[in-house]
Structure 1
Amino acid sequence: MHAKRTTTDRTRDADEQRPRRLAFLRGIGLRQVRMFTGLVLFAYLLSHFLNHALGNISPEALQAGVEWHLEIWQFLPVAILFYGSVATHAGLGLWALYQRRRFRWRTIEPLQLLLGLSVPLLIYGHVIGLRLSNALYDIDKLYPQVFYAYWVAAPPYRVWLMVLVMLVAWTHGCIGLYVWLRIKPMARKAMPWLLAVAVLVPTLALLGFYQGGRETIRDSSSRGWQEKNLSVKQLGTLAQQATLDRVGEAFVIGYLGLIGLALIARAARGLNERRGGMIRLTYGADRMIRVPKGLSVLEASLRHNIPHASICGGRARCSTCRIRVIGNPADLPPPSSREAFVLDSVGAGDDPTIRLACQLRPTHDLAFLPVFPPRNAAAARLAARAARVGEERYLVSMFVDLRGSTKIAETRLPFDTVFIVNRFLGAVSRAVIASGGQPNQFIGDGVLALFGLDDTPREACRNAIRAAAAIAASVDELNGFIGHDLPEPIRFGIGLHGGEVILGEIGYRDHMVFTALGDSVNVAARLQDMTKALGCETLLSDELRATAGIAADQLPTQQVEIRGRVEPMLVCPIVQSRDLAAALDQSELMFA
C-alpha cells in the first residue's frame, strides 16, 4: 500500500512547483499576449473560411455550416474569449505602431502591421451589419441576406471590397503564423504543407462566396424567395439602418483618431528623446555611433545599418541578439521579466554582462560585443568563385589556431566559450580581409585563409605575412576588451606556406565547400601545429619568405622535419608575429 501523503510532503511539492509557475509567468509579455489573441482570431477566420467553402457544395451545406459556426463562436465563454481577443489584438497593434522605433522595410514586418491596422477599416461595416444589428435590434442576418446585400442590392465594388477584406485578413494572419513558426525546430519540414493550406483555404472560400452569390442572383427574382429571406426581421428598418450607419461613422472617426494619436505620440517621443540627450554605443573596437536615449541596442544597429544577429526579428523569442557588456553593467536598466526569462533559458540569467540587444534600452554610454556574428556575404563570395573551380594556381595558405580553447571550455559556460571563439575568429578574419586575403574555412577554433586569388605570388606572400602581423595586433586589442573575463590572454599559432593548388569544392550534396586542395595547404597546417613545439606564434616556410622578397638575414631560420615529407624543410620561426611588420617595411626600403 502507498503511504499517505503528509502535509509536509504537499507543502514541499507546492514549494517545488512555485518556481516553475513563476518562470512561466515571467515568460509572458505583450508579444506572447499578441500571439495568443492572434491565434484565437486566426482560428475564427479559419472556421469562417471553411464555412464559406461549403458554398461549393450547396446552399444547404452552407447554411448547416453557419449554424455550427455560430454554435461554437456564440457560446458565452468562447464569445468572451473572441471579443476580448479582438479588442486586445487591435489595441496591441496600435501599441506596436507607437512602440516600434524603426521598421526594416525589406522584411514582412511593416506589411504585417499595415495589413493588421487596415482590417478594422475594411471589416467594420460587415461586423456592424451582422453582429451589432443582432445585438441591438435582434436582426437575424445569415448567408441569404448577406449574399443579397453584396451581390444584388449593393454596387459592384462591395463584392470586391469583401474579397479584399478576406485576402487582407488571411494574409495578415498567415504572416503572423510564419513569424511565430519560423524559429520552431519542425517549421522547415512543415512549411510546404502549411503553404499549401494557406493557398487552398482562401481559394475555396472565395469560390464558395462566388457560388453563393450566383445562387442568390438566380433565386432573388423569385417572390417566394424574397418573402422568405427579405423580411423586416431579417433586414431591419430604414431607421435602424440609419442608426447603424452613424455607429459605423463614429467607429471610423474614432479608429482613425487612435492611429493619429499613436503617430503624434511617436513624434512627441522622438522629440523628447532628442532633447533628453544622446548616448554613445561602442561595438567593441569596430564602430561607435551616437543615438538618442530610449532606443534598444538592436534598433540602434538597424538605424545605422550595422549587421546584428536576430533570428526572431527583435521579438525576444530567441537569444541570438545577445551582447556582452564591456565594463560595469550597474548603470544599465534591469532586465524585463521577458528578457530575464530568455536569458535564464540559455543559462545566462546570473551573468549581468549578458543582455538581449532587442530589450536593452541604455540610458548611458555603452560598450559591448555581440555574442553571435551576423550573417555575412560569405555564401555570395563562394558562389562568385564557383566558375573558378578546377583552376590551378599559386596560393598562400594560412592556418590560424586558438591556443588553449579546451582549457577555456572546461571553466566556462558553453555559450561563453562560443562567445570567446567567435570574437577570436572575427579578429582573425578582419585582419585577413584587411590584408587582401579571404577566410575560407572555419575549423573548430581555427581558420584557413587563402591569399593570391587575385594577386601575383609575391603579393600573395607579402599580404599573408602582413596579415600575420595584423592578427597579432587584433588579438592584442581583443585581449584588452575581454581580458578581464579570461584567466590568461588569448594566444594563437599561425602556419604559412605557398605553392600550386587546385581550387575545388569538397563535401556532399548541399554541404559543398569551396577550398584549395594541394600539398602546400597540408604543409601550412603542419607548420601551425609545430608552433607549439617551437614556442613561436608564426611559422612560415623559407620558400615563402624568399618569394615575398624578404632578405634571408632578416628572419631567423631553422630546419625541421615535416610529417609526410622526406626532406627536411627550412622554416622561419617568429616568436612575436608583430615583428613581421618591421621585416616587410625593411624589404620595401631595400627595393625602393
Structure 2
Amino acid sequence: MASLSPEALMKFTRGISVRQIRLSCGLVLFAYLVSHFLNHALGNISMEALADGVYFHTLFWQFLPVAILFYAAALVHAGLGLWALYERRQFRWKAIEPLQLVLGLSIPALIITHIAGVRLGQTLFGHEKLYPQVLFAYWIVWPYKIWLMLAVMTVAWVHGCIGLYFWLRMKAFYKNAAPFLLAAAVLVPALAMLGLYQAGRTVVDNDSKEWRAENLSPRQVGTQAEQAVLKSIEDYFLIGYLGLLGFVMLARGVRAINERRAGMVSLSYGNGKTVRVPKGLSVLEASLRNNVPHASVCGGRARCSTCRIRVIGDCASLPEPSKREAFVLNRVGAGADPAIRLACQLRPETDLSFFQIFLPQITAATLRTSSPSRIGEERYLVSMFVDMRGSTRLAEKRLPFDTVFIVNRFLGAVSQAVMECGGQPNQFVGDGQLALFGLGTDPQTACRQALKAASLIAANIDELNQFLSHDLQEPIRFGIGIHGGEVIIGDIGYRDHMVFTALGDAVNVAARLQDMTKSLACEAVISEEVRVTGGLAADSLPQHEVTIRGRAEPMIVRAVTDAKTLSALVNELNAIAA
C-alpha cells in the first residue's frame, strides 16, 4: 500500500485543530455514555436483563483496541478541557458555553468515586462488582451516593448534548432532526435513571443474610484493607485534580500579569471605535470583552468565516494564520489575500486597524427567536452566476433610463427561468445575478434544476433579443457559471438592510466559472461536481481542465457552447428516472 506523500498528509491535516480533536474524543465518550445509559435502562425489565446488558457492554468496551481508544479519548478530552479553561480570555460568551465548560470540568471530580470503586477495584484487586454490589452500596450502605450518581449522569449527559448541539446546529439535516434528537436527549437519561431506581428497589427488597452472603463476598466487594486503598486513591485524586484546576487558574493570572507587562495594543474598527487590550487576545475576544458587536455564527470556533475582518495597512507584522484559519480562508476563496483574517484566530502583537466584512446582526434576542436557517445553516446548494455581456458599451450609446430598462428585462428573463425551474433568485449585482438551487430539494434535483434553468435562460434571452431587435445593434449575450457544494446560508447585512444569501467556496467558484465563459467562448461552464451529481454522462459535454483563482489545484469543468442544449440532456435523465 502506497504511503501518503508529505503534500497529501498536509492537505489531510490542515483542517484539523484542537477543537476537532476535542470533538472526536467527545464523540467517543458520548458513545460510551449512550451505551452505559441504555444498559441502565434495562433495569426497567429485570436484574437479569441488567446482567445480560452489562456483559455485552463490557465485552465491547473492554476489548483491547476499543479500551485503548476510550481511555486515550478520555485523557485527551479532559486535558483539552483544562487547556480550554486556560485559553479562554473572557467569559462573556452566550451562557451555554461557559456552562458546558464548567459541567465538563466537574465530571472527573464527580465520577472518581464510581471509577475507584468499580473499575480500579477490578484492575487492582480483581473485584467483581456488578449492579447488585454497586446498587447495594449506593442504596443501603451510603444512600447519598445514589444522588451523586444521578448528578454525574445528568452533568455528563448535558455536557455531551451541548457539545453535540454546537457541532450539529449548522448541518443541513439538523432542522428536521432536532425534534427526534430532543426526544432522545430526554428519554435516554430518564429511562436510565428509572432503570437504576427499579433495580435499586429490587436490591432493597431482596436484602437478606442469604443475599448478602451470595453477593457481598470479599471476592466481589473486597476486604476492608482493599477498600481503604481505593478510598485513599479517590482522596488523592480529588486533591490532585482540584490542585490542577487551581494551577490552571493561577497560570491564567500569571499570563494576565505578563500580558499587561508586555504592553497593550490598540484595535481600531474603521468606524471611529478604538479599544486597547493586552497582547495575546484575539480580535473577537477583544470585541466581546469591550462589548463591541462582532458577527460570529459558530461562536469563535473557526467553523465559519462570518467573523472575517479586512486589515487596513501593512500586513507584514501580523502572525501567520494557523492551519485551521488557513483552511477556513481557503474554503471561502480568501486564502490568497493576506489582509483577510479570521477575528477569532488573529492575535495581533501590534496596533491594528481593520473593518468587519460582515457587520454584526445577530444578538442574543435574535438568536433565541430566529430560525436556524436565517442565522446560519450549513447545507449543499447549487450556485448559478449569470452575467450580461457588453452592458458597459450598451450604456455608452443610450440614455440611462433606456439602459436600466434593458438590464431589468435581462434580469427579469433570468429570474423567470430560475423560478420556473425551482430555484431562487438571490443577489443582483449590476447586470449580474446569483441564483440558488437546493433550498428545498436534494443535491441531484438541485443540479438538474440548475441545468434546466440555464437552458431556459438561453431561450428567454433569445426571445428578448427578438423583442429588442430594432433597438439593439447586436444581440444580448450572457455567461453562466454553475457549481455545487457545501455553503453557509443565512441573513447578512446591517439592521434593516438584511439579505438572505449563501457564503462559501462553492459560490465563489460559480462566479469564477461565469468569468471563464469568456475565455472558453461558450455560454455556460459547469463544474464536474454538478455533472456527476446531476447524473449527466461523462461524454455528454466537452471537458476542460482549468485553474481557478484562489485554488491550488486545477479543476475539471464542462463547457456548453449553446446553453439550450442542456434541456434535452436533463429531459433525457428525467425520462430515465420516470
**Alignment equivalent of 2:84, drawn from 96, 103, 107:** 96
**Alignment equivalent of 1:343, drawn from 311, 329, 350:** 329
Do residues 274 (structure 1) and 260 (structure 2) align? yes
1:404–1:31 CA distance, 2 compared to 1 (3 A): closer
1:244–1:377 CA distance, 2 compared to 1 (3 A): closer
1:357 maps to 343
1:287 maps to 273
Question: Given that residues 269 and 355 in structure 2 are in contact (C-alpha distance below 8 angstroms), is that contact kept between their aligned partners in structure 1?
Answer: yes
Do residues 44 (structure 1) and 32 (structure 2) align? yes
2:236 maps to 250
SS at match of 1:163: helix
Do residues 84 (structure 1) and 68 (structure 2) align? no
Measure the CA separation in 2 of the matches of 1:51 and 1:199: 16
**Alignment equivalent of 1:59, drawn from 34, 47, 72:** 47
Structure 1 portions without partners, runs of 5+: 1-9, 384-401, 415-421, 430-438, 445-592
Which string of whole-angstrom CA distances, capped at 9 and with x for unpartnered residues, describes residues 298-344 of structure 1?
A: 00000011111111111111111111111111110000111111111
The one-letter code sitting in structure 1 at the alignment partner of 2:299 is G
The one-letter code sitting in structure 2 at the alignment partner of 1:61 is A
Measure the CA separation in 2 of the matches of 1:309 and 1:441: 14
The one-letter code sitting in structure 2 at the alignment partner of 1:196 is A
State the 1:181 CA deviation. 0.9
Question: Given that residues 23 and 341 in structure 1 are in contact (C-alpha distance below 8 angstroms), is that contact kept between their aligned partners in structure 2?
Answer: no
SS at match of 1:324: strand
The one-letter code sitting in structure 2 at the alignment partner of 1:335 is P
Question: Given that residues 311 and 354 in structure 2 are in contact (C-alpha distance below 8 angstroms), is that contact kept between their aligned partners in structure 1?
Answer: yes
Measure the CA separation in 2 of the matches of 1:375 and 1:194: 28
State the 1:148 CA deviation. 0.5
Q: How does 1:539-550 map to 2 (within 5 A)?
A: none
* RMSD (CA atoms): 3.0
In the alignment of these two chains, the number of paired residues is 391
- Runs (4+) of structure 1 moved beyond 4 Å? 17-20, 376-380, 402-410, 439-444
Which string of whole-angstrom CA distances, capped at 9 and with x for unpartnered residues, describes residues 354-376 of structure 1?
A: 11111100001111111112125
State the 1:440 CA deviation. 6.4
**Alignment equivalent of 1:157, drawn from 144, 150, 155:** 144
Q: How does 1:419-568 map to 2 (within 5 A)?
A: 439=496
Measure the CA separation in 1 of the matches of 2:129 and 2:363: 57
1:118 maps to 106
Matched-pair identity in %: 58
1:548 maps to none
**Alignment equivalent of 2:291, drawn from 281, 291, 305:** 305
SS at match of 1:329: coil
SS at match of 2:281: coil
- TM-score, normalized by length of structure 2? 0.64
Which string of whole-angstrom CA distances, capped at 9 and with x for unpartnered residues, describes residues 131-168 of structure 1?
A: 111111111110110011101111x3211111111111
Measure the CA separation in 2 of the matches of 1:108 and 1:277: 32
Measure the CA separation in 2 of the matches of 1:137 and 1:378: 53
State the 1:285 CA deviation. 2.2
Measure the CA separation in 1 of the matches of 2:229 and 2:86: 33
Question: Given that residues 278 and 292 in structure 1 are in contact (C-alpha distance below 8 angstroms), is that contact kept between their aligned partners in structure 2?
Answer: yes
Measure the CA separation in 2 of the matches of 1:38 and 1:111: 16
1:59–1:335 CA distance, 2 compared to 1 (3 A): same
2:168 maps to 181
State the 1:25 CA deviation. 0.5
State the 1:106 CA deviation. 3.7
State the 1:182 CA deviation. 1.1
Question: Given that residues 183 and 311 in structure 1 are in contact (C-alpha distance below 8 angstroms), is that contact kept between their aligned partners in structure 2?
Answer: no
The one-letter code sitting in structure 2 at the alignment partner of 1:365 is D
SS at match of 1:331: coil
2:184 maps to 197
The one-letter code sitting in structure 1 at the alignment partner of 2:344 is C
Larger Rg: 1
SS at match of 1:302: helix
Structure 2 portions without partners, runs of 5+: 370-426, 435-478, 484-490, 502-578
2:61 maps to 73
**Alignment equivalent of 2:125, drawn from 137, 158, 172:** 137
Do residues 207 (structure 1) and 181 (structure 2) align? no
Do residues 28 (structure 1) and 22 (structure 2) align? no
State the 1:296 CA deviation. 0.1
State the 1:404 CA deviation. 7.6
Question: Given that residues 331 and 364 in structure 1 are in contact (C-alpha distance below 8 angstroms), is that contact kept between their aligned partners in structure 2?
Answer: yes
1:462 maps to none
Measure the CA separation in 2 of the matches of 1:442 and 1:403: 11
SS at match of 1:290: strand
Measure the CA separation in 2 of the matches of 1:313 and 1:254: 32
Measure the CA separation in 2 of the matches of 1:378 and 1:243: 50
